[in-house]
Amino acid sequence: MPNSLVAIYPGSFDPPTNGHLDVISRGARLVNHLIVAVLQNTHKNSLFTIGERAEMLKEITAHLTNVEIDSFDGLLVDYAVRRNTSTILRGIRSVSDYETESQMALLNRRMRPETETLFLTASAEHSFLSSRMVKEIITLGGDASVFVPEPVMRRLQAKSHSAKE
Ligand code: PNS
């Protein structure tokens, strides 16, 4: 397809939230093909394996025909070369997000000048939401069902049940 726009939406997605799904749904309307790419080389304390995160992302985006779920390790700009695109998509919730996101965008552009990062402003109802907070709520016995899609909630419940056993 001429002028076909392919973008990568990278992230940890541990777990995917309604905020991620909002960015994916809105991003998928703006580009021809959206690759949601789960970072593999994470040093963060993760709750879900890369495979589990990819499976959850597949389930919650099954209705979006131009969305692909993949994973990557190493530098994002190198992965973008492998996927033959220069366009990155990220969501921004707050001024503090802007600071880290603009730093990442500038670093990526310095490493690979053709890289462009597109930012979507988080919808107001998701502007306070993060995977870290969802994990904390679940760990402390709270109800996170309004913050995550249903398939993610099921897996969170399964994790917290198995942790109690
Ligand atoms: O969901 P997150 O944790 O905010 O996503 C961060 C992510 C995956 C976009 C970022 O850590 C990343 O791109 N990592 C890959 C390594 C890399 O390219 N680092 C240099 C640019 S910051």
pLDDT for the residue 2: 54
Tell me if 57 sits within 8 A of 14, measured CB to CB. Answer: no
pLDDT for the residue 8: 99
Residue 39: strand pairing partners: 72
Output the six-digit token pair for 96.
Answer: 């503090």
Q: List the residue whose alpha carbon is closest to atom 18 of ligand 1.
A: 75
Model confidence, pTM: 0.96
Is 1 within the bounds of a domain? Answer: no
Q: List the residue whose alpha carbon is closest to atom 8 of ligand 1.
A: 11
Please give the distance, rounded to the nearest whole angstrom, from the Cα atom of residue 69 to the centre of ligand 1.
Answer: 16
Q: Give the mean pLDDT of the chain.
A: 94
Q: List the residue whose alpha carbon is closest to atom 19 of ligand 1.
A: 75
- Our answer on whether the CB atom of 39 is closer than 6 Å to any ligand 1 atom is yes
Asked if the model's pLDDT at residue 37 lies above 60, the reply is yes
Strands (E), the chain: 6-11, 33-39, 67-72, 87-92, 116-121
Is 100 within the bounds of a domain? Answer: yes
- Our answer on whether the CB atom of 10 is closer than 6 Å to any ligand 1 atom is yes
CATH of the domain at 124: 3.40.50.620
Is 77 within the bounds of a domain? Answer: yes
More confident residue, 44 or 85: 85
Q: List the residue whose alpha carbon is closest to atom 7 of ligand 1.
A: 11
pLDDT for the residue 25: 98
Asked if the model's pLDDT at residue 22 lies above 70, the reply is yes
Element (H, E) at 129: none
Q: Identify the residue whose tokens are 């988080």.
A: 122
The per-residue DSSP string of the chain comes to -TT--EEEEEE--SS--HHHHHHHHHHHHHSSEEEEEEESS--S--SS-HHHHHHHHHHHTTT-TTEEEEEE-S-HHHHHHHTT--EEEEEE-SHHHHHHHHHHHHHHHHHSTT-EEEEEEPPGGGTT--HHHHHHHHHTT---TTTS-HHHHHHHHHHHHHHH-
The domain tally of the chain equals 1
Enclosing domain of residue 63: 6-164
Pocket test for ligand 1, best of 12, 24, 41, 50 (most atoms within 8 A of CB): 12
Residue range 4-27: mean pLDDT, rounded = 98
List pLDDT tens digits, range 99-139: 999 999 999 999 999 999 999 999 999 999 999 999 999 98
- Our answer on whether the CB atom of 92 is closer than 6 Å to any ligand 1 atom is no
